[in-house]
Amino acid sequence: MTDRLAGKVALISGAARGQGAAEARLFVAEGAQVVLGDVLPEVHDVAAELNGKRPGSAAAVALDVTSHDAWVGAVETARRQFGRLHILVNNAGITSERYGGLQPIETMTLEAWNALLEVNLTGNFLGIRAAIGLLRDTATPLLATNPRASASIVNISSAQAIRPSPHQANYAASKWGQRGLTKVAASELGPVIRVNSVHPGPIDTPMIHDMLVSSLDVLVSLQADTPLARVGTAEEVADLVLFLASEESSYCTGAEFLVEGGRTAATVLRGER
């Protein structure tokens, strides 16, 4: 532990597993207190684990990111339990798997379209809107003596928002929307609050793990199309989010940060490794 987030309080959505849980564990290891939000009850297990390692470091809340009231409640938990809020990580998101999987626009249902935009994009909007007040109240007095002490919002988007693939119009549109929301929020909320987006490629999380282990062809294809020749880990995403949450990124806002093994950089020539 190096205490890169010592004294900071963070709210992380989608924190019951995968990237969100990895971010929460890393934040606590680096000195932060965290409010973990998720619709999955396992979020309470993650909070209990963190409190077992550092008593008083974590609180868990039921958080449906499509609900304004749920977001208000999560922010109020941060205020009531920790008295402040320095960091918001909009991590919660879904893929199209539960809505028919990959589909061309011609046959995609309105339900599949709306569901992904509601969680992935509207969820970010609601989270930002609910957290602005406490983030601003926390950071404003700190900036009077430390110009690097701005609050930080990190939106977890996707490499699909940089280079989209066919048959993912709903997912790609929701993630491109996060790019735009990030830039508008950065322009509105500076200098007190910084806002950046993170764009992971294929990451071995519960959301896609079953697909990776059940289909060798998918795994081989992903590796072949990635210059680093492997899928990423939740911990590698968390490392980048930590940087953006900390004062180390104090002059970064409205920016896009890729963690995707180079997939969007160029076409890999198969067979040349």
- The helix, strand and coil proportions of the chain, stated in percent and rounded to the nearest 5, come to 50, 15, 35
Residue 59 in domain? yes
Residues 6+ apart with CB under 8 A from 268: 224, 225, 226, 227
Residue 267 in domain? no
Residue 233 in domain? yes
Residue 265 in domain? no
Residue 1 in domain? no
The pLDDT of residue 215 is 59
User: Which tens digits make up the pLDDT trace of 191-243?
Assistant: 999 999 999 998 988 766 565 655 566 667 777 788 888 889 999 999 999 99
Question: Which range marks the domain in which residue 252 is found?
Answer: 9-259
Residue 24 in domain? yes
Q: What is the 3-state secondary structure (H, E, C) of 163-224?
A: CCCCCEHHHHHHHHHHHHHHHHHHHHHCCCEEEEEEEECCECCHHHHHHHHHCHHHHHHHHH
Residue 271 in domain? no
The pLDDT of residue 41 is 98
What is the phi/psi pair of residue 135, to 5°? -60, -45
Q: Which residue out of 171, 182, 185, 253 is catalytically annotated?
A: 171
Residue 254 in domain? yes
Rounded mean pLDDT of the chain? 93
Which residues in the chain show pLDDT less than 70?
1, 207-219, 266-273
The pLDDT of residue 212 is 61
Query: What's the CATH number where 126 sits?
Result: 3.40.50.720
The pLDDT of residue 273 is 47
Q: Is 171 a catalytic residue?
A: yes
User: Which tens digits make up the pLDDT trace of 97-108?
Assistant: 888 889 999 999
Instruction: Look at the chain and report how many structural domains it folds into.
Output: 1
